[in-house]
């Protein structure tokens, strides 16, 4: 039977659930145990682990979960999303971190919403991801799938670099800048927003190109269609790097090209509100100071 908020899509047959929490957040671990106990009482098989646990992937392979519940902040969801998307494993996120653009639920809201989940009253929101390849000549140095963004920029020396972007083998433009961000609509509220980029509704399937601190270069963001292929190269005598979803950077070498495409994988998120919830969260966080934890 289709769920009320998700017409036309069959609800998840919940039998096995894996709960993952941020290892540095004691509150996340405690809430994970509380949620685990609650679901066990409803006859659901549970595995509860830190995402730093080396047994996480084997646990997923063994349990064959129908759902992952992730407790932490946005970084937690970015991390587990890279694991879940290729498996088509939906995620229910519970925010116990400072920021929560990717979350609908906070740590004190899970009980009523788990009841809604068990009764099928939810929808599944799918987020586009990016496939990123690092290529030098004919050799592929690495490949990744990311939810937010890929950043190509200067290394440790505070000096701009020359960056060239091509779209489907046509020159888009060249920048003299600190860096260039290729982001999804989800990533439009992350680094791209801090760099002055536009905010895109999360269900859009676009690739957003945003320069960081451009000098005498085009300073406007460019929104591209999902079907394009973007190739980015950097020229620098003092080092350039590639960073993916804020993870430790990969040092670029001469001749490296970063290729960005819309991925065939999508991240599936469990939602209990209608699509308009995004604007509610947006307006709330636009008035929020993540350092002090207060609203303006």
- Would you state the structure tokens that stand for residue 245, as one six-digit string? 């979803």
User: In which residue are the tokens 């207060």 written?
Assistant: 294
- Separation CA 239–CA 100 (nearest Å): 33
Buried b (16+ CB within 10 A) or exposed e, 117-149: bbebebbbbebbbbbbebbeeeeeeeebbbbbb
- Separation CA 69–CA 22 (nearest Å): 12
pLDDT at 292: 54
Contact 243, 151 (CB under 8 A): yes
C-alpha dihedral, 47 to 53 to 56 to 62, nearest 10°: -60
Write the CA distances from 270 to 1, 30, 116, 234, 276, integer angstroms: 17, 22, 11, 38, 15
Q: How far is CA 132 from the centre of its chain?
A: 14
- Separation CA 238–CA 214 (nearest Å): 17
> Is 66 annotated as catalytic?
no
Give pTM, 2 decimals: 0.89
SS (H, E, C) the chain: CECCCCCCCECCCCCEEEEEECCCCHHHHHHHHHHHHHHHCCCCEEEEEECCCCCHHHHHHHHCCCEEEEEECHHHHHHHHHHHHHHCCCEEEEECCCCCCCCCEECCCHHHHHHHHHCCCCEEEEEEEEEEEEEECCEEEEEEEECCEEEEEECCCCCCEEEEEEECCEEEEEEEECEEEEECCHHHHCHHHHCCCCCCCCCCCEEEEEEECCCCCCCCCEEEECCCEEEEEEECCCCEEEEECCCCCEECCCCEEEEEEEEEEEEEEEECCCCCHHHHHHHHHHCEECCCCEEC
Give me the tens of pLDDT residue by residue for the chain, a chain 296 residues long.
Answer: 334 444 434 578 899 999 999 988 889 999 999 999 999 999 999 999 998 877 788 889 999 999 999 999 898 999 999 999 999 999 999 998 776 778 888 877 888 899 999 999 999 999 999 999 999 988 999 999 999 999 999 988 889 999 999 999 899 999 999 999 999 999 999 999 999 999 999 999 999 999 999 998 888 999 999 999 999 999 988 889 999 998 999 999 999 999 999 999 999 999 998 887 787 777 766 666 555 555 55
- Separation CA 5–CA 127 (nearest Å): 17
User: In which residue are the tokens 């972007």 written?
Assistant: 165
pLDDT at 288: 61
Contact 29, 50 (CB under 8 A): yes
pLDDT at 280: 73
- Separation CA 173–CA 115 (nearest Å): 51
Query: How wide is the angle at C-alpha 238 spanned by C-alphas 237 and 241, nearest 5°?
Result: 110
Nearest to 152 by CA among 62, 260, 65, 288: 260
Task: Tell me the domains of the chain and their CATH numbers.
Answer: 16-122+272-295 (3.40.50.10330), 129-264 (2.60.200.30)
pLDDT at 177: 95
The residue annotated as part of the active site, out of 74, 149, 178, 245, is 74
């Amino acid at each position: 039977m289709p769920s009320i908020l998700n017409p036309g899509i069959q609800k998840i047959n919940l039998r096995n659930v894996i709960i993952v929490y941020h290892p540095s957040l004691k509150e996340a671990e405690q809430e994970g145990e509380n949620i685990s106990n609650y679901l066990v009482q409803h006859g659901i098989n549970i595995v509860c682990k830190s995402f730093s646990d080396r047994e996480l992937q084997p646990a997923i392979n063994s349990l064959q979960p129908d759902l992952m519940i992730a407790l932490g902040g946005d970084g937690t969801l970015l991390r587990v999303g890279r694991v879940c998307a290729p498996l088509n494993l939906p995620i229910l996120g519970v925010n116990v971190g400072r920021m929560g653009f990717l979350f609908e639920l906070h740590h004190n809201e899970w009980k009523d919403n788990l009841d809604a989940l068990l009764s099928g009253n939810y929808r599944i929101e799918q987020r586009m991801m990016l496939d990123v390849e690092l290529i030098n000549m004919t050799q592929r140095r690495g490949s990744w799938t990311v939810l937010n963004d890929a950043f190509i920029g200067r290394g440790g020396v505070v000096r701009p670099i020359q960056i060239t972007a091509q779209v489907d083998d046509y020159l888009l433009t060249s920048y003299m800048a600190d860096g260039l961000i290729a982001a999804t609509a989800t990533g439009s509220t992350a680094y791209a927003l801090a760099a002055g980029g536009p905010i895109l509704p999360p269900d859009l399937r676009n690739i957003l190109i945003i320069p960081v601190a451009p000098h005498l270069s085009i300073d406007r963001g460019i929104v591209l269609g999902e079907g394009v292929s973007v190739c980015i190269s950097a020229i620098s005598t003092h080092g350039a790097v590639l960073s993916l979803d804020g993870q430790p950077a990969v040092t670029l070498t001469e001749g490296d090209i970063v290729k960005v495409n819309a991925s065939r994988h999508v991240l599936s998120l469990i939602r209990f509100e209608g699509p308009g919830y995004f604007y509610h969260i947006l307006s709330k966080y636009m008035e929020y100071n993540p350092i002090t934890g207060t609203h303006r």
